[in-house]
Amino acid sequence: MRRLRYAMVGGGRDAFIGAVHRRAMALDGQMELVAGALSSDPEKARASGRDLGLADARNHGRWQDLLDDELKRSADERIDFISIVTPNHMHYPVALAFAQAGINVVCDKPLVHTSTQAEDLAHAVQRTGAVFAVTYNYTGYPMVRQARHMVQSGQLGEIRKVIVEYNQGWLATKLEGGDNKQADWRTDPSRSGIAGAIGDIGSHAENLVATITGLEIEAICADLTTFVPGRKLDDDGNLLLRYTNGARGVLIASQIEIGGENDLRIRIFGTQGSLAWHQEDPNRLLHASLTDSPRILTRGSGGLCPAAVKATRLPAGHPEAFHEAFANVYLGAGEAMRARSEDRALGALEGDYPTLADGARGVRFIELTVESAKSEAKWTPWS
C-alpha cells in the first residue's frame, strides 16, 4: 500500500498546529508530505519548506502556485489531498479551489466564516466527489468513540441532559497586538470570523456533543461576553441548549478562566445511565448505571467496542492522547480517499472522520450563537 501524498497550506515556521498535523500524519506511516505553501509570506513559506526537506519544485510561495503546479502533474505524481492549517479566513478560498479541482481536502476548524461559504464547498464536493474532512480532532480519541457506541447502542437509555465545557485561561489578559501570533489572529474578526471563544473552542464542544450523542439542536439561548477591555470578539460564552428529542444542554466555552489549560469535558445523562469524559485524562471513561455500581473504562482494556479498539495503538497503561487523536481523524479520511481512488465502498470500520456536513453544522452553530447573544428573545430557533 503506497503512502498518500499530501501538500500543506499554512503551518510553517512559528506555527503551532501545522506541526501537530504533520506529526499525526506520520504516526501510521501512510502519508507523506511532498509539497506545500507553508506561509502567507512567500519567503517564509519557502524557508519553511526547506526546513521540512521539500523539493524546490514543489516548495511554493503562494497556495495558488501550489495548485497550478499540482494540476500540471500526472496522476501518479500529483498529491492525494491538501491539508489546510491556516487562520480561519483562508480556509474558504483554499478549500474551494482544491475541491473544485477534484483534490481531496482536510481542513482545520471552524470550517469557514459563513454558511453560504459552507454551501459553496458542499456544491463543489458534490460535483467532483472529493473527500472532505474537518479536523475536529477530539472525535479521534478512543474513549470518545467508545462513548458514542454506548449512546448509540442504548446503554444510557434516552438522553435527557448534556453538559459540555471547554475551559481555558490563556486569553485572560490582552495578549493580542504583541508577539503572540495565536492571540493576534484568533481575536481579529477579519481573520477569525464573527466569534472568538465560541468559534475557536465552542465549536469543538458542539461537535463533541453531536458526535457522541447524535442530538440535534432545536434552539439556543446564548450569553457571549468580552471581558478583556479592547478585545473585539467574545472571550467567554455560556449557552443553554434545547434538543429536538426534548433533551436539555449546557455549553460553556471560555478563554478567560485563569487556571484552565485545555479543559474540555463532557457529561451525558440518560434514563438508564450516564457517561463522563475529560480531555486532560482522555484514556478513562466514567460510566454510571441506574442499576449497577459505577465503573471506569480504560483505553486499551478488554470489552471496548471495535471503533475504540481500532483507534488504539498502545496497550493499556501506556498513555495515548492529542497526536494520536489527530492521527485517527487522518486515518479515517485516508481510508475514504483510498476507497474513492479504488472506486469501492467503505468497509464497516473505515472512514470514521468528521465530514464537511459536521463542519457546516459547526458554522451554523456559531452564527446562531452570535445571533442569540445579540437578541432580546430568550430562545433562537435552529434554522
9 domain-assigned: yes
Say whether both 270 and 242 belong to one domain.
yes
Provide the pLDDT for residue 48.
98
Residues 134 and 41 in one domain: yes
In a domain, 251, yes or no: yes
Residue 134 lies in a domain: yes
Q: Are residues 120 and 176 in the same domain?
A: no
Mean pLDDT of 185-193: 97
Per-residue pLDDT, 312: 97
> From CA 298, how far away is CA 286, in angstroms rounded?
9
Domain range for 309: 140-316+361-381
**Residues 228 and 176 occupy one common structural domain:** yes
Whether the ω angle into residue 229 lies within 30 degrees of 0, i.e. cis, is: no
pLDDT band at 2 (very low <50, low <70, confident <90, very high): very high
Query: 322 in a domain, yes or no?
Result: no
- Mean pLDDT confidence for 119-147: 98
CATH number at residue 131: 3.40.50.720
- Res. 249: pLDDT tops 90: yes
Mean pLDDT of the chain: 97
pLDDT for 176 beyond 90: yes
Task: Report the SS3 class of residue 257.
Answer: coil
Same domain, 81 and 151: no
Q: What is the DSSP string of 180-212?
A: -HHHHHHT-HHHH-S-SHIIIIIHHHHHHHHHH
Tell how strand 248-254 and strand 159-167 pair up.
parallel
Instruction: Say yes or no: 131 and 148 in one domain.
Output: no
In a domain, 323, yes or no: no
**30 and 169 within one domain:** no
CA distances from 232 to 28, 38, 183, 185, 193 (A): 41, 28, 12, 11, 11
Residue written as grid cell 471495535: 306
Q: Is residue 345 part of a domain?
A: yes
Count Cβ atoms below 10 Å from residue 310 Cβ, excluding itself: 17
Residues 160, 83 share a domain: no
3-state SS class at 364 = helix
CATH of the domain at 163: 3.30.360.10
The rounded percent of the chain whose pLDDT value lies above 90 is 98
Amino acid identity of residue 90, one-letter, is: M
Helix axis angle for 91-100 and 115-128, nearest 10°, is 20
- DSSP structural state of residue 108: P
Write out pLDDT tens, residues 65-77.
Answer: 999 999 999 999 9
The yes-or-no verdict on residue 356 having pLDDT over 90 is yes
The pLDDT tens digits for 195-212 are 999 999 999 999 999 999
Over residues 76-86, the pLDDT tens digits come to: 999 999 999 99
pLDDT at 270 over 90: yes
Q: Could you tell me if residue 324 is inside a domain?
A: no
What is the phi/psi pair of residue 359, to 5°? Answer: -65, -40
pLDDT at 1: 84
Structurally, how many domains does the chain consist of?
A: 2
| 158 and 37 together in one domain | no
The answer to whether residues 302 and 158 belong to one domain is yes
- Where b means 16+ CB within 10 Å and e means fewer, 190-227 reads eebbbbbbbbbbbbbbbbbbbbbbebebebbbbebebe
Asked if pLDDT for residue 234 goes beyond 90, the answer is yes
pLDDT in tens, 208-228: 999 999 999 999 999 999 999
Q: Are 80 and 196 within one domain? A: no
pLDDT at residue 52, rounded to an integer: 97
Q: Are residues 203 and 231 located together in one domain of the fold?
A: yes
| C-alpha cell, 258 | 485563569
Q: Is the pLDDT of residue 383 over 90?
A: no
Residue 318 in contact with residue 298, Cβ under 8 Å? Answer: no
